[in-house]
Each structure stands twice: as structure tokens, then as C-alpha cells.
């Protein structure tokens, strides 16, 4: 039996391709594994998400500035950051299917299955008890839920120990004892677990003897750390302050089977917030909350988000959590919020021999700042937005439509301009309205097929508004404005269009509500 969630992911992938959102990379050569290209609409949506993040972080916060560092960095950067020695994922192969997996992800998915069982028990009980249901009390007292929770706690404790001690032998034993099978072959015939470094390397310099191994950055954060001094001095920044950046990152992922969720070339949107030592926990809480509010401001259901504290902290962190999202494949990491201590700056001080301290005039002291990082994958955010806005609807007249209920300010095309007929001067009038609107909005013109079919095409790409030009328009300069989600139409004066559409679709209006 096919899994409905997998079916949804497949539907999203084919919809994204059919309508010019996302294509497999170099598809004429049958694609390249875990690399994707954004098409004519996808690149617009991606730009809009990037801009919404950038403006929310940089424009709305006086003490945050943005930079754009290079992808190539001095190779010592990655020694100092710990990536050369420790940027590994544990991999395991199934000998029968020859498929490769991340050992940690296999265990996490097993835990998630138990969690789903708890959720089902809770849902059943909530239905049974109705209004008087007390979820917390139920979870604390119900023997079945307690048993599941005990299983989760025990697995987590052992899993954490294995990861911390790098005990790959026990990690394999854990996978075997939990009875985890390969989803393809159904067998438990596993190889040993091995560590695998995720960084891509290449050589810089034209002559072989000169050549120097350099890495494609696996995260954008280090570009911020090595520019800390430059920005602090030239921007006259005062702690607490932040540096934001968006850009490509590269990881030679072991498993790359989940569309744009896990890619080998992807884009990150990161912000490092520099604070006085010992104040980091309060900033960590502040940024957790601020980032959560940013997500909710998109209008996606709160139920699709949850926090997940890391069970094993990275070598640089003293607190870390993920904002997870209910993707079609289940709840998975969308954004990480990490308290990175002073690890990175201190390490760059050591390796470079440069003083990377901040002089704090308020307390008359120099110190290496502590850092809170917010790090979100742009492509994962794209998938979150796309998958949660995809709807198949049955309409009152018995027909069906596919609609992308994208937040209007993120939609690639804001307005479609549709002359009712291809004659009587209606296309010319439509052209006049296009000229009026094109400086403020991304438009699409369509005169082919019936108006109903044209509405369906716009629904499928998520255009929030359609303007129809008919004979009455020629007489009184009014048009009908159709709203995508309600499908309601109202007649308005063409002169009012810019003002109305701006209120409904502009990024600045969305930012005001943040
Ligand atoms: P995962 O556990 O899923 O591999 P991670 O914990 O390694 O992710 P981070 O190093 O915290 O991820 O990176 C920050 C963000 O970058 C993630 O929250 C995610 O949104 C994004 N990201 C990381 N790896 C990828 C990838 N291979 N493809 C797309 N986005 C990614």
C-alpha cells in the first residue's frame, strides 16, 4: 500500500515541475542527484522568501546588518571551525538493497514512529472526552502512552551516549535491536556504521604545484565570523548586534532522496547575533521566539510547527533547538537556533593570530563575544510554503480545482490580467491596465481559452488576484477583481487597483504585521 504522505510529496514534485517552480538539474542529461534548478516561477517565490527574511532581519532591526561573503574561503577557516575534523555524518548501508542511509536519521525516524503512536492515542482520547480533555494529565497517567514515552526516553538516552562517545559499534547494535529494516529491501542486513565527511573540496590555482585544496563552504556562518572585526569596526557596531547573510552552501549529503529538502547545493539564510558573555541564554530565548513569530506571520497553521531540542549538542554549542515543520514526509528540521558560545571567534583568533575581541565601553572590558545563531534553509522554507499551500478542492458546482494558497506577498505572480474576449478593444484596454500596474506588481497576461480555464491556471500557480476586463470596462473604467481563495469577485474602478493590490500583496504590508 502506498503511503499517502509520500504520494503528497510526489504530487508536489510533479506540480512544481509542471508549472515552472522546480526542475531537476540538467534534466536533459537525466538530472544530477540531489541538485535542482528553480524555474521561472520558483525563482520568484524563492526571491520573495529571501527578501521577506532579509527585510525582517536587517531592515526591521537597527542593530543587524547584512553582508555577502564569498563561497571560497581560506582553507584554514575550516580547520578552525572544526569542519575538517568533525563535520561528519554516520552512514550505514543495507547489504541487500545497496541503499545508503544516515544511521542517526534511521534512529530518529524510529523514535518519530513511536511519537506518532502517542499522538494517535491522544487524538482518540480527545474525541472520547470532548471538552473536558486534559492532554497533559492524560499523557502523565495513561499506561500505554507512558510505555511509549519510556521507550522513547530509553532510546534517546542510548542514542545520545553513542553519538557523544562516537560509539559507532553500539549505534549499529541499537539499529539492530530496534528491528529497523531497510524500507526498500525490508531486510536488517546492515553494514557497520562509518563516519563520512560532508565537505566538497576542489583545487585553487592554475598549475598543479601551486594548487591548494579548498572547500566549498558547508555553511554561510563562517563568512560572518571571519568578517566580524571588519563589520564591527567599519559599521561602528555596538554589542548586542547581528550580521545576516544569505547564500549558497554545499554538503555531500549521504542520503538525498527528499526533493529540495536535502540537497547537495542549497541556500542558507543565517544571522549571527553577538552578545556579552553570560547574557547568551536570554538572547537565545528571544531569538527562538522572534523566529517562531516570523514563521507564524506567514499564515501557515501553528500546528505545522514544533520545537525540538537537540539531544546531542554540536562541539561549539551550549544550547540548540530546531524549529521543525510538518513536511509531507513528516516533522523535520526547518531552522536551527544555536547558542554557539565564543567557540568560533576564539578558534579563529587562535588559528589566525589576530585579535578578534570587542571592546565594550559600557563595562570598560574587552572580550570575545558569545553568539546566538539563527539558521534556516531557504529551499526547505520554499518546500514548507509550497507543500502547505497546495490544495485540491471540490467546488460547489461539482468540478475540482488545484490551488496554491501561497501567502499573497510571496506569490510569484501577484495579478493576472484577463480580457474577457480577444476582440472589441478588450485586449487593448487590458494592455493599458498592464502599463499602469507593471511597475508595482509582477503580472501575467492571458487571453487564451475560456475565463474559467484561465482562472484555474492562475489558481494552480497561486496568483492571488485576477483582473477581468469586459465591455463594461470600456464604458466606465471598472474591472472585476477576483480573489483566489474565496473565488469572490467585486467590481472596482481601475483607478483604485494600485492602492488596493498594494495593501493586499505587498511585502511592506506584511512586514508591518510582524
Ligand atoms: P539535517 O540534520 O537535516 O542534516 P543540519 O542540522 O545539518 O540539518 P544545520 O547545519 O543546522 O542543518 O543547517 C541549518 C539549516 O540549513 C537547516 O535547518 C536546514 O534548513 C538547512 N540545510 C541543511 N542541510 C541542508 C541540505 N542538505 N539541503 C537543504 N537545506 C539544508
Q: pLDDT per residue over 431-482, tens digit each?
A: 999 999 999 999 999 999 999 999 999 999 999 999 999 999 999 999 999 9
Q: What share of the chain is helix, strand, coil (3-state, %, to 5)?
A: 45, 25, 30
CA 452–ligand 1 middle distance (angstroms): 41
Give the CATH number of domain 1-87+198-294+338-392.
3.30.930.10
The pLDDT-based confidence of 205 (bands split at 50, 70, 90) is confident
Q: Which residue's C-alpha comes closest to atom 9 of ligand 1?
A: 336
Reduce the DSSP state of residue 513 to 3 states and report it.
coil
Decide: 118 and 105 in contact? Cβ < 8 Å.
no
Cα–Cα dist 262/257, whole Å = 7
Task: Give the 3-state secondary structure of residue 313.
Answer: coil
The residues near 149 (Cβ < 8 Å, ≥ 6 apart) are: 118, 139
Ligand 1 center from residue 270 Cα (angstroms): 11
Q: Of ligand 1's atoms, which has the minimum distance to the CA of residue 253?
A: 27
Residues 211-244, buried b or exposed e (16+ Cβ, 10 A)? eeebbbbbbbbbbbbbbbbebbeeeebebbbbbb
Q: How high is the mean pLDDT of the chain?
A: 94
3-state helix/strand/coil string of 192-244: CCEEEECCCEEEECCCHHHCEEEEECCCCHHHHHCCHHHHHHHCCCCCCEEEE
Which positions ≥6 away from 404 have C-beta within 8 Å? 386, 389, 390, 391, 411, 459, 460, 461, 462
**Which atom of ligand 1 has the smallest separation from the CA of 332?**
3
CB-CB contact of 246 with 267 (8 Å): yes
Q: Which residues line ligand 1 (CB under 6 A)?
A: 219, 251, 253, 262-263, 266, 268, 333-336, 375-377, 379-380
Contacts of residue 469, defined as CB under 8 A and 6 or more positions apart, other chains included, come to 417, 418, 419, 420, 426, 429, 430, 433, 479
Residues forming beta bridges with residue 335, ordered by sequence position: 323, 376
Sheet holding 305-309, edge to edge: 64-66, 241-250, 265-275, 370-377, 330-341, 319-327, 305-309
Look at residue 2 and tell me whether its pLDDT is greater than 50: no
Has residue 317 got a pLDDT over 90? no
Confidence of residue 266 (pLDDT cuts 50, 70, 90): very high
Q: What pTM value is reported for the model?
A: 0.89
| Rounded CA separation 384/325 (Å) | 7
CA of 131 to the centre of ligand 1 (A): 40
What's the average model confidence in pLDDT over 278-283?
Answer: 97
Indicate the burial class of 77 (C-beta count within 10 angstroms; 0-12, 13-18, 19 or more): buried
Q: How would DSSP label each residue in 379-446?
A: HHHHHHHHHHHEEEEE-TTS-EEEEE---TTT-S--EEEEESSSSTTHHHHHHHHHHHHTTTS-EEE-
Going from the Cα of 117 to the center of ligand 1, the distance in angstroms, rounded, reads: 27
Instruction: Examine the pLDDT at 1 and tell me if it is beyond 70.
Output: no
Q: At what angle are helices 378-389 and 4-18 packed, to 10 degrees?
A: 100
What CATH number is given for 395-512 in this structure?
3.40.50.800
Helix, coil or strand: residue 56: helix
Decide if 327 contacts 339 (C-beta within 8 A): no
Question: Which atom of ligand 1 is least distant from the CA of 375?
Answer: 14
C-alpha span between 252 and 35 (Å, rounded): 11
Could you tell me if 271 and 244 are in contact, meaning their C-beta atoms sit under 8 angstroms apart? Answer: yes
| Whole-angstrom Cα Rg for the chain | 26
| Integer Cα distance of 332 and 335 in angstroms | 9
Mean pLDDT of 63-84: 96
Nearest CA to ligand 1 atom 3: 333
Q: What is the number of residues in the chain? A: 514
Provide CATH code, domain 88-196.
Answer: 3.30.40.230
Separation in Å, CA 266 to CA 40, 249, 256: 18, 5, 12
Any idea where the domains of the chain sit in the sequence? 1-87+198-294+338-392, 88-196, 395-512
Q: How high is the pLDDT of residue 389? A: 97
- List own/partner pairs for 32-37 with CB under 8 A and 24 or more apart: 33/256, 33/264, 34/253, 34/256, 34/257, 34/262, 34/263, 34/264, 35/263, 35/264, 35/265, 36/259, 36/260, 36/263, 36/379
**Span 358-373, pLDDT tens digits:** 999 999 999 999 999 9
Strands 305-309 and 319-327, sheet pairing:
antiparallel
- The pLDDT score that the predictor gives to residue 255 is 79
Atom of ligand 1 nearest to the CA of 377: 20
Separation of 221 CA from ligand 1 center, angstroms? 13
Average pLDDT over residues 95-113: 93
Question: Rounded CA gap, 240 and 250, in Å?
Answer: 30
Among 198, 291, 375, 376, which is best to mutate for testing ligand 1, by the most ligand atoms less than 8 A from CB? 375
For 151-201, write each residue's pLDDT tens digit.
Answer: 999 999 999 999 888 899 999 999 999 999 999 999 999 999 999 999 999
Q: Rounded mean pLDDT of 57-84?
A: 96
Q: Whose CA is nearest to atom 18 of ligand 1?
A: 335
The atom of ligand 1 lying closest to the CA of 218 is 10
> If you measure from the C-alpha of residue 415 to the centroid of ligand 1, how many angstroms do you get, rounded to a whole number?
34
Which residue's CA is minimally distant from atom 24 of ligand 1?
A: 262
Amino acid at each position: 500500500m502506498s503511503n499517502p504522505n509520500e504520494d503528497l510529496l510526489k504530487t508536489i514534485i510533479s506540480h512544481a515541475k509542471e508549472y515552472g517552480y522546480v526542475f531537476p538539474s540538467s534534466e536533459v542529461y537525466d538530472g544530477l542527484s540531489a541538485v535542482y534548478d528553480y524555474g521561472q516561477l520558483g525563482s520568484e517565490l524563492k526571491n520573495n522568501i529571501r527578501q521577506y527574511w532579509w527585510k525582517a532581519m536587517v531592515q526591521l532591526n537597527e542593530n543587524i546588518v547584512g553582508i555577502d561573503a564569498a563561497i571560497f574561503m581560506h582553507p584554514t577557516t575550516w580547520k578552525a571551525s572544526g569542519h575538517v575534523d568533525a563535520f561528519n555524518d554516520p552512514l550505514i548501508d543495507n547489504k541487500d538493497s545497496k541503499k545508503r542511509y544516515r544511521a542517526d536519521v534511521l534512529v530518529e525516524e524510529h523514535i518519530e514512529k513511536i511519537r506518532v503512536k502517542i499522538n494517535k492515542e491522544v487524538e482518540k482520547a480527545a474525541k472520547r472526552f470532548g471538552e473536558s480533555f486534559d492532554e497533559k494529565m492524560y499523557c502523565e497517567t495513561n499506561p500505554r502512552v507512558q510505555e511509549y514515552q519510556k521507550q522513547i526516553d530509553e532510546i534517546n538516552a542510548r542514542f545520545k551516549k553513542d553519538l557523544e562517545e562516537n560509539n559507532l559499534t553500539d549505534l549499529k547494535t541499537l539499529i539492530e535491536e530496534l528491528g529497523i529494516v531497510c524500507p526498500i529491501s525490508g531486510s536488517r542486513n546492515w553494514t557497520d556504521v562509518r563516519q563520512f565527511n560532508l565537505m566538497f573540496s576542489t583545487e585553487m590555482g592554475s598549475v598543479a604545484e601551486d594548487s591548494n585544496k579548498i572547500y566549498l563552504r558547508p555553511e554561510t556562518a563562517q563568512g560572518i565570523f571571519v568578517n566580524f572585526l571588519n563589520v564591527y569596526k567599519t559599521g561602528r557596531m555596538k554589542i548586542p548586534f547581528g550580521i545576516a547573510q544569505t547564500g549558497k552552501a554545499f554538503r555531500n549529503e549521504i542520503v538525498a532522496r527528499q526533493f529540495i529538502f536535502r540537497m547537495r547545493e542549497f541556500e542558507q539564510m543565517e544571522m549571527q547575533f553577538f552578545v556579552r558573555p553570560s547574557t547568551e541564554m536570554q538572547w537565545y530565548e528571544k531569538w527562538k521566539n522572534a523566529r517562531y513569530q516570523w514563521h507564524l506571520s506567514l499564515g501557515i497553521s501553528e500546528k505545522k510547527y514544533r520545537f525540538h531540542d537537540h539531544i546531542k549538542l554540536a562541539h561549539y554549542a551550549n544550547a540548540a533547538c530546531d524549529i521543525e515543520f510538518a513536511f509531507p514526509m513528516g516533522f523535520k528540521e526547518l531552522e536551527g537556533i544555536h547558542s554557539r558560545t565564543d567557540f568560533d571567534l576564539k578558534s579563529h583568533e587562535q588559528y589566525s593570530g589576530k585579535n578578534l575581541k570587542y571592546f565594550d565601553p559600557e563595562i570598560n572590558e574587552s572580550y570575545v563575544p558569545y553568539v546566538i545563531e539563527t539558521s534556516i534553509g531557504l529551499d526547505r522554507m520554499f518546500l514548507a510554503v509550497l507543500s502547505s499551500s497546495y490544495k485540491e478542492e471540490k467546488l460547489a458546482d461539482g468540478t475540482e480545482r488545484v490551488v496554491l494558497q501561497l501567502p499573497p506577498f510571496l506569490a510569484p505572480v501577484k495579478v493576472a490580467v484577463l480580457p474577457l474576449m480577444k476582440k472589441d478593444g478588450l485586449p487593448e484596454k487590458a494592455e493599458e491596465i498592464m502599463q499602469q500596474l507593471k511597475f508595482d506588481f509582477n503580472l501575467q497576461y492571458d487571453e487564451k481559452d475560456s475565463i474559467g480555464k484561465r482562472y484555474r491556471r492562475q489558481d494552480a500557480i497561486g496568483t492571488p488576484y485576477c483582473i477581468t476586463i469586459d465591455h463594461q470596462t470600456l464604458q466606465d473604467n471598472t474591472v472585476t477583481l477576483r480573489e483566489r481563495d474565496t473565488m469572490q469577485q467585486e467590481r472596482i474602478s481601475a483607478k483604485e487597483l494600485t492602492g488596493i493590490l498594494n495593501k493586499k500583496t505587498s511585502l511592506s504590508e506584511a512586514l508591518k504585521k510582524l
